Amino acid sequence: MKTIAFLLHNNFEQVEYEEVNDQLKEKGYKTILITTDKQKEVQGIKQDVNKGKTFTADIFAKDAKVEGYDALVLPGGTVNADTIRGNKEAHGIIKAINDANKPLAVICHAPWILINTGIAKGKTLTAYHSLQTDLENAGAKFVDESVHVDDNLITSRNPDDINNFVNAIDQALS
């Protein structure tokens, strides 16, 4: 059974974790939740402003074993993405997945993180529309598509695109 890890902090867009996680489990994948926070209880948000549910992470980023994951998913949420883009432990996990050419699936505001890790440069990506200038300034080509695949990178715009996003992850692992 293939294992897909989710990496997030607090104030992540709940549907981009919960619905993606549920759909991947329905397709037969094992999932694991990794947090960069200091507590395992992490707070989801709805539409970037309203408190959602809390979830319990399986492990902390410092304890993550990248070789055990077949893919990595980065949910969005403005605060979550902005926090992770400055987190060195998270960068290590993300770069290791990318360097191993494993699927790296990034949705909504999370492509911001690809800028700080140096992964965005030279890639064609989609993301939440407000990230277009940031991604282009970082040397990426921005496209407005529900999902875009560039080598092992799978990017998506927003929660409306989750079904296509999950299908792209599944296809990359098939």
What residues are labeled active site?
108-109
In sequence order, the β-bridge partners of residue 3 are: 30
Pairing of strands 41-46, 50-56: antiparallel
* Residue type at position 159: P
- Decide: 91 and 40 in contact? Cβ < 8 Å: no
For residue 122, give the nearest of 110, 136, 132 by alpha carbon: 136
For residue 115, give the nearest of 132, 93, 97 by alpha carbon: 132
